[in-house]
Structure 1
């Protein structure tokens, strides 16, 4: 399995070092390196990545601000010379925090951790089903039966062909498990199965009798993914 990654680092020498480390790991594929977070925001609107190496202290847009603004976060490894941001980073669910200067051994340990997490995620849905915790039991759900997922305060409601399952999960957790070639977030409160979409009109998706809004913050990415996959012509 290849992990597609980008690096965001405003210090040229530090960016060079990260790139050198990346090319030494056969399962890492460096797509792009950025010296500021703003350019990376634009790149991520058009491209999908698995992992971001992210500096914290940067001009214009800091690493923390960048993380807080990201929708559908990939795995993130923070690279920083300052340890005071570690707690905030973990609150934002980063995979690891590398304190500069870090050795290649420490770098490898960090990316191995991400690799193992992604392998577990891929294998969990490779059989075509997932298990989710409900209030009193664990339910098996066939992935192909899922129509869409709706956020309801602290819970998610998974709508399938024949039932609705409430679970205390986050959108992030489910998006990491579900196949990203079909399931996309289109609103703060909705994930849809692209294959189950019947039509789209006025930025509203129809799936069965349900009309699901596409919010402005997800619209460009959603339509971009349809075009990228050549299913919107």
Structure 2
């Protein structure tokens, strides 16, 4: 699981980082001293688990947790036991009191791993692989056959993705990264944190936007180079 640490105290971050390094199934991808910086990182990277302090300047851990997708799990780390009740209101996996003992830390992360596995299994059940040119997508208790070429774009909305077709929108419970991994890369390209587009359906583009039918989709700053390299330059080479 990809994880990050968010805590305004340097020593506290270092202590959690040492504990993380002892857990083989955890991969630490970032440490942050405030929620705003962590939020910016999460817009561009997949984060499965956050070790989150509660009392921080600016946005508190509780307020930050309320804005996070439920697909990202939270383990609170704090010196104050009185916040325990608040942590349950945001469905935190666990609540650890500093200083955190290694055995207690592993118990919390094992619990997070189990829940993460359930989420992954749920996502897999919403997609039925079928062939090289289509798959079945579960939506509203039914499975819909979706041809890859019929998808205009895919939009990610927290815990769901929307497959936009010519005359239909199919909504299923899955995160955008997981959906993108299922789509053929020869046809689909991620262009910002919330959108994956079918490059064969692009009708026009400029330096900032892509136009598909009546839809205008922004090209994210961190995705612009890859868009022009993977789509524009690839077309020129053919």
Question: Partner of 1:60: helix, strand, or coil?
Answer: coil
Which segments of 5 or more consecutive residues in structure 2 lack a partner in the other structure?
A: 234-238
**If you compute each CA radius of gyration, which structure gives the higher value, 1 or 2?**
2
Q: Taking structure 1 as the reference length, what is the TM-score of the superposition?
A: 0.65
Q: Give yes or no for contact 1:184–1:194 (8 Å, CA) kept in 2.
A: no
Residue 4 (1) aligns with residue 5 (2): no
CA RMSD, Structure 1 to Structure 2 (Å) = 4.0
Q: Give yes or no for contact 2:137–2:145 (8 Å, CA) kept in 1.
A: yes
Matches within 5 A, 1:22-101: 22-45=20-43, 47-67=45-65, 75-81=72-78, 82-90=83-91, 96-101=92-97
> 2: CA distance between counterparts of 1:108 and 1:141?
36
Q: 1:49 to 1:206 in 2, by over 3 A?
A: same
Question: Partner of 2:86: helix, strand, or coil?
Answer: helix
Q: Taking structure 2 as the reference length, what is the TM-score of the superposition?
A: 0.64
Q: 1:106 to 1:69 in 2, by over 3 A?
A: closer
In structure 2, what is the equivalent of residue 93 of structure 1?
A: none
The offset of 1:79, in angstroms, is 0.9
Number of residue equivalences: 208
> 2: CA distance between counterparts of 1:28 and 1:12?
20
> 2: CA distance between counterparts of 1:196 and 1:56?
46
In structure 1, what is the equivalent of residue 197 of structure 2?
A: 193
Matches within 5 A, 1:46-195: 47-67=45-65, 75-81=72-78, 82-90=83-91, 96-101=92-97, 103=104, 104-118=106-120, 121=123, 127=129, 129-134=135-140, 137-143=142-148, 145-149=150-154, 158-160=163-165, 163-167=167-171, 173-175=174-176, 177-179=178-180, 182=188, 191-193=195-197, 195=199
Q: Give yes or no for contact 2:191–2:197 (8 Å, CA) kept in 1.
A: no
Q: Deviations over 1:59-89 (max 9, x none)?
A: 122123434556x786131314421322441
Question: Partner of 1:32: helix, strand, or coil?
Answer: strand
Q: Deviations over 1:142-191 (max 9, x none)?
A: 4564222579xxx986333x651454x57xx452641268575869xx74
Q: Deviations over 1:116-141 (max 9, x none)?
A: 5346546865836342224x843233
Q: 1:52 to 1:165 in 2, by over 3 A?
A: same
Q: Give yes or no for contact 1:54–1:76 (8 Å, CA) kept in 2.
A: no
The offset of 1:224, in angstroms, is 0.8
The offset of 1:47, in angstroms, is 4.4
The offset of 1:26, in angstroms, is 1.8
Q: 1:183 to 1:121 in 2, by over 3 A?
A: farther
